[in-house]
Chains A and B, each alone.
Chain A
């Protein structure tokens, strides 16, 4: 396979053709933060936290899907990249509860994001759905990374229990007419719980034990 040499943060990197910037960076120990990205799933490239500066490109580019090109010059820590990352994390923190997403909190600390900056506006708040014997859904913690929707659909299970409700700031994960999980096509495979990056999806027993101990 052909190999490609490019520059990431002033380091020369050589990777097979077709590698993404994110993976190429990882080969030289550069970790680019990302929320929606999961190595086993189709990257939707929607969190935009992994966007990096590529010389010659107008906007910032999502490292999770952008394939490397020969002589590409990438900067993953420039002021512009850090500003984008910080503002997106501040926006997210103003919208959902990130209390059980330590890695996102860690990203925030790295760029000195102020979680209160956009506070006071519309938040996504929901009651916890406790509608089946296996897992709970706490969409107040949902960051809309789409992973659960994807594993439930073509990426893994082909069950199609989940979809998107509404749009814009009010986007949320939904079922057909918001019916309870046992009434949907859900087969309780647990894949969605496995890929959830926050505390939004959680085993029922784990959730009950946590509640008892708190």
Chain B
């Protein structure tokens, strides 16, 4: 055995180095074998520990380049900043590049693995417990701000779960609760709410195959059946050896690559019956990131496929940060708000509230803390426009967020990223680090007198957290229950302070508006629907993807000219606009201009900008059942009409789909939808019956003749 390893073992026994180092060494070795390594904020803490480990010596470039597997700049550059790598060669590295690193093993890796396992077994203190302590002891400044401890709970749960092999044993939750001064029951309640936290052992590889309409139309069910058959499991079960869990999942927002799946955090695209092995080995045959984009204008998407999302200098070379500079040095906050008002920009998350007005209301509060949140919890069925923006150009979104902070007088901004979008999360964290280093974040930015910090937070599997008040509860570290309104977030938001919450796309529009002026933006589009809009087109089209268009383009142009028309030259049967919480249009509406006013006339919604296209071969009853099941799965359970109503709606749709409808089912569905709209607390319950109501209205015979199975 290498004498350095002997020394390591001796130091470990003498408690000169923490058992956490052993934990990280073991993690690295295992991940070298599996070809993946976690990459996130807490890894750097581990690396500090790991730096004491022989073989993780980074002082020569050969070792550096073979240090870790798939371990990218995302972590390594932060280590450099913190002077944790001290080798002379490191000075010559281009830290804007991305390196793939792997562990250099002096002997063969099996021997090293066996050696580590022996040490692991004999360690007096559990190395995992030591790693957990490191996590809990971390100076909270690592998050860049001083906020109530509880708000760290979701992040700590994610990290602790990674340390403990994918789940949270009871003593771990007890320790976390103690460290954060929280009741045990509160911590447990949070783990129960979010589907991505596990309090029971779970497979080392969690296979999540999307079940929603765009993937279902392209055969995701077959792939799921194949995988289940192959592993001898039902959905929701784990193999006896603890290797695989198959978990049903609602829309992953990868509809441009349907059918899609996640294995742990890794994306798998274009699944087919012969794509079982890559799922089982978690080695996709494609890049994690590919943008299918198009359109008639480029405002929010100008940099996509142009810049490297890891490189701030490339963003700046395309004019990035010029708007922020202009706002900070040439404009007052009031002028920024006026410009946004003049642009007539309205929220792109679905509610279409005027953005400038929202900023103005919030800015008008008495002096005190206030917050801006970027809502990146995109989870609507068929929605992937925000994912495309944040994967490919996170800087633009953050620039918009910083401009919003300046306009409103907020010194703290948040980005709340959907838990399933791990890549987006990593890119945001990376981009925040780049901005920080370049002096565009922190105290007195570039001498402007403006101070601002940004924090990136992850969701953990809850559609309802896209609702603004539920999202605030989640950032505060609680279950994602929507709040009662009034009061509204502009006066009582995060921690009861005035808060602006804006969608990713909304913020991505802001830099251009500030740079070119509000008047410029308002001339795009139509008189009543200003500007451009991103649409995520999915389903039965030849070229699913995200298309940016000025308002006023017709549905036909979007679906036929841009998205390439219908697969196999079939006819349009229906278009679900706005997601599961949306409405149906038909082939009769193809010549409708896409504007708020024209859509209103024909009973459509723009919503969050999704267009799910169903050709005339699609079984619409099945699609409706999937919509119903989506809401039943995602209801938070707070208010009765949604808690129970979404479930009963799904049950009725299910029996109609299978030919067991009852004579009064249609009347019941309509009444149920009306009551959910009238009485539910938040938008989820209020909209849960819209698509069904619309389908009944558009195709009276679809659910009406209930005794035949389609």
The interface of chain A, by Cβ under 8 A from chain B, is: 44-49, 51, 59-60, 62, 65, 80, 83-84, 87-88, 91-92, 94-95, 117-118, 120-122, 144, 153, 160-171, 174-177, 184-185
Q: A162-B185, A174-B192 are in contact. Are A169 and B678 (CB under 8 A)?
A: no
Nearest chain A residue, comparing its CB with the CB of B194: A167
Contact of B643 among A84, A153, A165, A168 (CB under 8 A): A168
Q: A59-B679, A122-B651 are in contact. Are A167 and B636 (CB under 8 A)?
A: yes
B407 smallest CB distance to A (angstroms): 29
CA of A185 to CA of B174 in the docked complex: distance in angstroms? 13
Q: A83-B671, A91-B641, A121-B651 are in contact. Are A168 and B646 (CB under 8 A)?
A: yes
A123 smallest CB distance to B (angstroms): 10
Contact of A164 among B189, B645, B671, B679 (CB under 8 A): B189
A35 smallest CB distance to B (angstroms): 8
- 29 residue pairs from A and B, CB less than 8 Å apart: A45-B484, A45-B639, A46-B638, A48-B639, A59-B678, A59-B686, A80-B678, A91-B648, A92-B640, A92-B644, A117-B668, A118-B644, A160-B184, A160-B186, A163-B192, A164-B193, A166-B192, A167-B479, A168-B633, A168-B634, A168-B647, A169-B643, A174-B185, A176-B184, A176-B185, A177-B170, A184-B184, A184-B185, A185-B184
Is A87 within 8 A of B641, CB to CB? yes
Is A95 within 8 A of B479, CB to CB? no
Q: A87-B671, A117-B668 are in contact. Are A163 and B639 (CB under 8 A)?
A: no
> Is B700 part of the contact surface with A, judged by Cβ < 8 Å?
no
> Is B677 part of the contact surface with A, judged by Cβ < 8 Å?
yes
> Is B199 part of the contact surface with A, judged by Cβ < 8 Å?
yes
Is B186 within 8 A of A88, CB to CB? no
> Given the complex, which residues of A lie within 8 Å of B192, measured CB to CB?
163-167, 174
Contact of B193 among A65, A88, A167 (CB under 8 A): A167
CA of A87 to CA of B646 in the docked complex: distance in angstroms? 13
6 nearest CB pairs, A to B: A160-B183, A163-B189, A171-B637, A163-B185, A91-B644, A169-B647
CA of A95 to CA of B680 in the docked complex: distance in angstroms? 18
Having A168-B635, A177-B188, one finds 17 other A-B pairs with CB under 8 Å, namely A46-B640, A48-B641, A48-B679, A59-B679, A60-B678, A60-B679, A62-B484, A84-B679, A87-B641, A87-B675, A91-B641, A92-B644, A163-B183, A166-B637, A168-B647, A169-B644, A176-B185
Nearest chain A residue, comparing its CB with the CB of B190: A163
A119 smallest CB distance to B (angstroms): 10
A136 smallest CB distance to B (angstroms): 19
> Given the complex, which residues of B lie within 8 Å of A167, measured CB to CB?
192-193, 462, 479, 635-637
CA of A175 to CA of B184 in the docked complex: distance in angstroms? 9
> Given the complex, which residues of A lie within 8 Å of B646, measured CB to CB?
168-169
CA of A59 to CA of B193 in the docked complex: distance in angstroms? 27
Q: A48-B639, A164-B193, A177-B199 are in contact. Are A84 and B648 (CB under 8 A)?
A: no
Nearest chain B residue, comparing its CB with the CB of A161: B185
> Given the complex, which residues of A lie within 8 Å of B58, measured CB to CB?
none
CA of A164 to CA of B249 in the docked complex: distance in angstroms? 22
CA of A153 to CA of B186 in the docked complex: distance in angstroms? 10
Chain B 665-694 against A: per-residue CB contact (8 Å), 1 yes, 0 no?
000100110110111110000100000000
> Is B632 part of the contact surface with A, judged by Cβ < 8 Å?
yes
> Given the complex, which residues of B lie within 8 Å of A175, measured CB to CB?
185, 188
> Given the complex, which residues of A lie within 8 Å of B638, measured CB to CB?
44, 46
Q: A48-B680, A92-B644, A95-B644 are in contact. Are A83 and B637 (CB under 8 A)?
A: no
> Given the complex, which residues of B lie within 8 Å of A122, measured CB to CB?
647, 651
Nearest chain A residue, comparing its CB with the CB of B189: A163
Chain B 461-499 against A: per-residue CB contact (8 Å), 1 yes, 0 no?
010000000000000000100001000000000000000
B78 smallest CB distance to A (angstroms): 36
CA of A44 to CA of B643 in the docked complex: distance in angstroms? 14
Chain B 218-248 against A: per-residue CB contact (8 Å), 1 yes, 0 no?
0000000000000000000000000000000
CA of A128 to CA of B704 in the docked complex: distance in angstroms? 42
CA of A65 to CA of B645 in the docked complex: distance in angstroms? 22
Chain B 247-280 against A: per-residue CB contact (8 Å), 1 yes, 0 no?
0000000000000000000000000000000000
> Given the complex, which residues of A lie within 8 Å of B643, measured CB to CB?
144, 168-169, 171
The winner among A87, A144, A177 for most chain B CB atoms within 10 A is A87
Nearest chain A residue, comparing its CB with the CB of B648: A118
Is B184 within 8 A of A48, CB to CB? no
> Given the complex, which residues of A lie within 8 Å of B183, measured CB to CB?
153, 160, 163, 185
Is B479 within 8 A of A164, CB to CB? yes
> Given the complex, which residues of B lie within 8 Å of A170, measured CB to CB?
637
> Given the complex, which residues of B lie within 8 Å of A92, measured CB to CB?
640, 644
Is B640 within 8 A of A168, CB to CB? no
CA of A95 to CA of B185 in the docked complex: distance in angstroms? 25
The winner among A46, A118, A169, A171 for most chain B CB atoms within 10 A is A169
CA of A170 to CA of B668 in the docked complex: distance in angstroms? 22
Is B674 within 8 A of A83, CB to CB? yes
CA of A95 to CA of B647 in the docked complex: distance in angstroms? 10
CA of A170 to CA of B672 in the docked complex: distance in angstroms? 19
Is B637 within 8 A of A169, CB to CB? yes
The residues in B between 351 and 368 inclusive whose CB is less than 8 angstroms from any CB of A are none
> Given the complex, which residues of A lie within 8 Å of B193, measured CB to CB?
164, 166-167
CA of A87 to CA of B640 in the docked complex: distance in angstroms? 10
B181 smallest CB distance to A (angstroms): 12
The winner among A48, A49, A122 for most chain B CB atoms within 10 A is A48
B285 smallest CB distance to A (angstroms): 36
The residues in B between 478 and 525 inclusive whose CB is less than 8 angstroms from any CB of A are 479, 484
Is A168 within 8 A of B636, CB to CB? yes
CA of A173 to CA of B193 in the docked complex: distance in angstroms? 12
Is A168 within 8 A of B675, CB to CB? no
Is A88 within 8 A of B640, CB to CB? yes
Nearest chain B residue, comparing its CB with the CB of A46: B639
A117 smallest CB distance to B (angstroms): 7
> Given the complex, which residues of B lie within 8 Å of A163, measured CB to CB?
183, 185-186, 188-189, 192
> Given the complex, which residues of A lie within 8 Å of B641, measured CB to CB?
48, 84, 87-88, 91
Is A65 within 8 A of B484, CB to CB? yes
Nearest chain B residue, comparing its CB with the CB of A117: B668
> Given the complex, which residues of B lie within 8 Å of A120, measured CB to CB?
651
> Given the complex, which residues of A lie within 8 Å of B672, measured CB to CB?
87
CA of A117 to CA of B645 in the docked complex: distance in angstroms? 12
CA of A174 to CA of B640 in the docked complex: distance in angstroms? 18
CA of A59 to CA of B462 in the docked complex: distance in angstroms? 25
CA of A42 to CA of B373 in the docked complex: distance in angstroms? 28
> Given the complex, which residues of B lie within 8 Å of A117, measured CB to CB?
668
The winner among B640, B651, B680 for most chain A CB atoms within 10 A is B640
Nearest chain B residue, comparing its CB with the CB of A47: B640
B87 smallest CB distance to A (angstroms): 47
Chain B 164-205 against A: per-residue CB contact (8 Å), 1 yes, 0 no?
000000100100000000011111110011000001000000
> Given the complex, which residues of B lie within 8 Å of A49, measured CB to CB?
640
Is B185 within 8 A of A144, CB to CB? no
CA of A176 to CA of B184 in the docked complex: distance in angstroms? 6
B657 smallest CB distance to A (angstroms): 15
Nearest chain B residue, comparing its CB with the CB of A169: B647
Nearest chain B residue, comparing its CB with the CB of A118: B648
CA of A87 to CA of B668 in the docked complex: distance in angstroms? 9
CA of A148 to CA of B680 in the docked complex: distance in angstroms? 22
> Given the complex, which residues of A lie within 8 Å of B678, measured CB to CB?
51, 59-60, 80, 84
Is A94 within 8 A of B681, CB to CB? no
Q: A59-B679, A169-B635, A185-B183 are in contact. Are A174 and B188 (CB under 8 A)?
A: yes
> Given the complex, which residues of A lie within 8 Å of B187, measured CB to CB?
176
Nearest chain A residue, comparing its CB with the CB of B193: A167
Is B645 within 8 A of A91, CB to CB? yes
B183 smallest CB distance to A (angstroms): 3
Contact of A45 among B184, B635, B681, B686 (CB under 8 A): B681
Nearest chain B residue, comparing its CB with the CB of A51: B679
CA of A130 to CA of B644 in the docked complex: distance in angstroms? 27
CA of A84 to CA of B675 in the docked complex: distance in angstroms? 5
B654 smallest CB distance to A (angstroms): 9
CA of A149 to CA of B18 in the docked complex: distance in angstroms? 41
Chain B 620-635 against A: per-residue CB contact (8 Å), 1 yes, 0 no?
0000000000001111
